[in-house]
Chain A
Amino acid sequence: MEKGTALTIQADERGLSAREVTISYGGDPIVRELSIDIPHGGLTMIIGPNGCGKSTLVKAFARVLKPVGGRILLHGRDLGGYRAKEAARQVALLPQSPVAPDGITVRGLVRRGRYPHHTLLRQWSPADDAAIAFALERTGLVELADAQASELSGGQRQRAWIAMVLAQETELLLLDEPTTFLDIAHQYELLELCGELHREGRTIVAVLHDLNQAARFASHLVVMNEGRVVAQGPPDEVLTAELVAEVFGLPCDIVPDPRTGTPMVVPHARHPAGEHAPAGRAQVADRA
């Protein structure tokens, strides 16, 4: 925990932070007086049970939601004081379910990420071509640039959306559950891509569901529950059996991931003396 705190104090002025932020959709607050500094240059992953406010917090960072109390700071300045496009040149958001317009090509989709860099009369600049080419190349979509977005597979489509937010050329990338609709291999492909972008110097914040994936890829892990941050820091310090039991209600062991050494959650069997699990095992054994 100490290491995490030292890092955040250094990065205090740069990047995103929340100061006693409260967010509500009109009823009970979803996020309550939450304060956090997003480590600059880090790969921050936010985990927590459904309804804990993790997506809500990310939406507030991207100006989709306005906090009802407290302040969100971008580079030390109140986020609400930025002009919309100015903020959009610093912070990009990939939401959970973006909509691809009918008939658009991958390149057309990626080009739309350039919106905050344009004005009414300047809707093109030489930087556009470079940014679009970089985004397509980085996400491995050069070959598919002229394909219809509607014809892509799930994994390809998610990469196209990542390419779109990359073309936005922001220091900060916010990803709201980017792996949710992907099959397992594409989930890891996407997380690897996040890791590479982070190593190249981007600050990334991602909301994830899978604790093991978060622990494996995050440089900074944030655990939320009931609208508050309950723990944050390097994954191996944050992810303990007690925390998982308390926050997620899941009794488990934490063992080192045999590949990476990062903490790995191994849930206790729910029905230790039940019929299903042993029966299944017996069947496998029979076949073997």
Chain B
Amino acid sequence: MTATAERARPGVLRIGRVVALPVHRGYLLAALAVVVLLLGASVATLTLGRLGIPLGELPGALVGGAEGSDAFVLERLRGPRLVVAIGTGAALGLSGALFQSVTRNPLGSPDVIGLGAGAGAGAAVFALLLPGTLPVWLGALAGAALAMGLVYFATGTGFRNPGRLIVAGLGVAAMAFAFTEYVVYVMERDRASVLMAYVNGSLSARDWDHAATIWLVLAVVVPLAALLGRRLDASEMGDELAAGLGADPTRTRVFAVTLSVVLSAGAVSVAGPIAFVALTAPQIARRLTGGTGAHQALAALVGALLLVLADLAAQQAPWSDGLPVGIYTMAIGGVYLGYLLVREWRRGRL
């Protein structure tokens, strides 16, 4: 009993007199485990398969000694793809954590309520319909913002009521997907793979420009999300309690949704609307931390892990043959939704 009590209490990280942050051992262990798994999956991504860099040569190749086909695989083929996958997964995980905090509902997630779909439609317009008028990422941002605007007004009560939000969001998501498919159909009649990339999301043939885009987005948003984290924790307990604690719930919501939109747009502009990472990653992170707070950072790590694993399957599974990664994340999401359903049913809430 005392042992558990001791373990549940945080240690404190101090830097001089200025900084004092509580650090939970369980949280650190969970984060460490996810990082180790992520490293393992990354090594597997670079080494497995016909073109894989042999494990023994990987350390040398990474510090700059890659030659011949290894150099091509590392610098052109799998290296950028892996870096994009990690960044995109992290962006999706963080985006989902922010949005789920705002909506207080696992389904109030960017991929369910049309944020990703809106970004995808925006990207499709400016990549296919009007190429060259706007950068694709700006198009994605405009699409995501427009989709959220529609959802916001369609609910009639803003983002406060999760039930209305999900219904309105599903409608907006369906319209955005239909629009994307229309654009792709009109422009690229005979290229099914393009449609797949815009509707499901794909990580094939990514280059360092994609990597730079998504990591730049993370570099800007992550510090801001860290500033917002504790206020979000307070607003999770309801608007009235948050206001009583001195954390303005309306402002918190606006900031969190804005950051979430930017992250989603960034992710979509480099990889298309990859489904369900934003929904599942924060939920797994919560299970791992037991509500000690700061689960946003862990959600980003878990998101990166999920996407790298899904992309590993997309590249190496024997039946795969070029299936886009989005199909695998959709499968993960389906399994997770099933689990959620069973859990709620057991608790008698359904």
Binding site for B on A (CB under 8 A): 59, 62-64, 83-89, 91-105, 107-108, 112-113, 115-116, 118, 120-125, 129, 145-146, 165, 168, 174, 176
Interfacial residues of chain B within 18-61, with CB under 8 A of chain A in the complex: 18-22
- Tell which of A95, A115, A124 touches B238, judged by Cβ atoms closer than 8 Å: A95
Considering the complex, give the chain B residue whose CB is closest to the CB of A128.
B22
Considering the complex, give the chain A residue whose CB is closest to the CB of B226.
A120
The number of residue pairs between A and B whose CB atoms lie closer than 8 Å in the complex comes to 110
Contact indicator B247/A103 (Cβ below 8 Å): no
Contact indicator A93/B290 (Cβ below 8 Å): no
Knowing A102-B291, A107-B8, the reply to whether A112 touches B244 (Cβ < 8 A) is no
Contact indicator A105/B21 (Cβ below 8 Å): no
Contact indicator B240/A95 (Cβ below 8 Å): yes
Task: Tell me the smallest distance from the CB of B4 to a CB of chain A, in Å.
Answer: 5
- Tell which of A86, A91, A115, A176 touches B247, judged by Cβ atoms closer than 8 Å: A115
Contact indicator B240/A98 (Cβ below 8 Å): yes
The segment from B74-82, B136-144, B227-235, B316-324 that touches chain A is B227-235
Considering the complex, give the chain B residue whose CB is closest to the CB of A118.
B230
Q: Answer yes or no: B350 CB below 8 A from chain A CBs.
A: no
Contact indicator A145/B238 (Cβ below 8 Å): no
Contact indicator A146/B240 (Cβ below 8 Å): no
CB-CB under 8 A from B286, the residues of chain A are 102-103
Give B260-298 as 1s and 0s: 1 = Cβ < 8 Å from A's Cβ atoms.
000000000000000000000000001101111100000
Q: Answer yes or no: B164 CB below 8 A from chain A CBs.
A: no
Binding site for A on B (CB under 8 A): 4-5, 8-10, 12, 18-22, 104, 227, 230, 233-234, 236-241, 243-248, 286-287, 289-293
CB-CB under 8 A from B291, the residues of chain A are 101-105, 108
Contact indicator A99/B236 (Cβ below 8 Å): yes
Considering the complex, give the chain A residue whose CB is closest to the CB of B7.
A146
CB-CB under 8 A from B240, the residues of chain A are 59, 62, 64, 93, 95-96, 98, 176
Task: Tell me the smallest distance from the CB of B252 to a CB of chain A, in Å.
Answer: 11
Task: Tell me the smallest distance from the CB of B249 to a CB of chain A, in Å.
Answer: 9
Task: Tell me the smallest distance from the CB of A67 to a CB of chain B, in Å.
Answer: 14
CB-CB under 8 A from B236, the residues of chain A are 99, 101
CB-CB under 8 A from B246, the residues of chain A are 83-89, 115-116
Contact indicator A122/B18 (Cβ below 8 Å): yes
Contact indicator B245/A101 (Cβ below 8 Å): no
Report the Cα distance A63→B243, complex, angstroms.
7
Contact indicator A105/B8 (Cβ below 8 Å): yes
CB-CB under 8 A from A176, the residues of chain B are 240
Considering the complex, give the chain A residue whose CB is closest to the CB of B8.
A146
5 pairs across A/B with beta carbons < 8 Å?
A: A93-B243, A93-B244, A101-B236, A115-B234, A145-B5
Query: Nearest 9 CB-CB pairs, A to B?
Result: A88-B246, A93-B244, A104-B291, A95-B240, A84-B246, A85-B246, A103-B291, A64-B243, A116-B246
Report the Cα distance A187→B291, complex, angstroms.
29
Contact indicator B19/A146 (Cβ below 8 Å): no
CB-CB under 8 A from A123, the residues of chain B are 20-22, 230
CB-CB under 8 A from B237, the residues of chain A are 98-101, 112
CB-CB under 8 A from B8, the residues of chain A are 105, 107, 145-146
Knowing A99-B237, A102-B291, A123-B20, the reply to whether A62 touches B227 (Cβ < 8 A) is no
Contact indicator A113/B20 (Cβ below 8 Å): no
CB-CB under 8 A from B12, the residues of chain A are 124
Task: Tell me the smallest distance from the CB of B295 to a CB of chain A, in Å.
Answer: 9
CB-CB under 8 A from A91, the residues of chain B are 244
- Greatest chain A CB density within 10 A among B4, B8, B227, B287 is at B8
Contact indicator B22/A88 (Cβ below 8 Å): no
Task: Tell me the smallest distance from the CB of B191 to a CB of chain A, in Å.
Answer: 43
Contact indicator B293/A64 (Cβ below 8 Å): no
CB-CB under 8 A from B19, the residues of chain A are 121-122
Contact indicator B290/A105 (Cβ below 8 Å): yes
Task: Tell me the smallest distance from the CB of B68 to a CB of chain A, in Å.
Answer: 50
Report the Cα distance A63→B241, complex, angstroms.
10
CB-CB under 8 A from A93, the residues of chain B are 240-241, 243-244
Considering the complex, give the chain B residue whose CB is closest to the CB of A88.
B246
CB-CB under 8 A from B10, the residues of chain A are 124
Report the Cα distance A97→B292, complex, angstroms.
22
Contact indicator B238/A101 (Cβ below 8 Å): no
Contact indicator A95/B241 (Cβ below 8 Å): yes
Contact indicator A115/B5 (Cβ below 8 Å): no
CB-CB under 8 A from A116, the residues of chain B are 245-246
Contact indicator A108/B245 (Cβ below 8 Å): no
Report the Cα distance A146→B227, complex, angstroms.
28
Further pairs besides A104-B291, A115-B230, A115-B233: 8, Cβ < 8 Å: A63-B244, A64-B243, A87-B246, A88-B246, A107-B8, A112-B233, A123-B21, A146-B8
Task: Tell me the smallest distance from the CB of B255 to a CB of chain A, in Å.
Answer: 14
Considering the complex, give the chain A residue whose CB is closest to the CB of B283.
A102
Considering the complex, give the chain B residue whose CB is closest to the CB of A102.
B286
Report the Cα distance A27→B227, complex, angstroms.
36
Contact indicator A98/B245 (Cβ below 8 Å): no
CB-CB under 8 A from A63, the residues of chain B are 243-244
CB-CB under 8 A from A59, the residues of chain B are 240
- Greatest chain A CB density within 10 A among B104, B234, B245 is at B245
Task: Tell me the smallest distance from the CB of A102 to a CB of chain B, in Å.
Answer: 6
Considering the complex, give the chain B residue whose CB is closest to the CB of A129.
B9
Contact indicator A108/B20 (Cβ below 8 Å): no
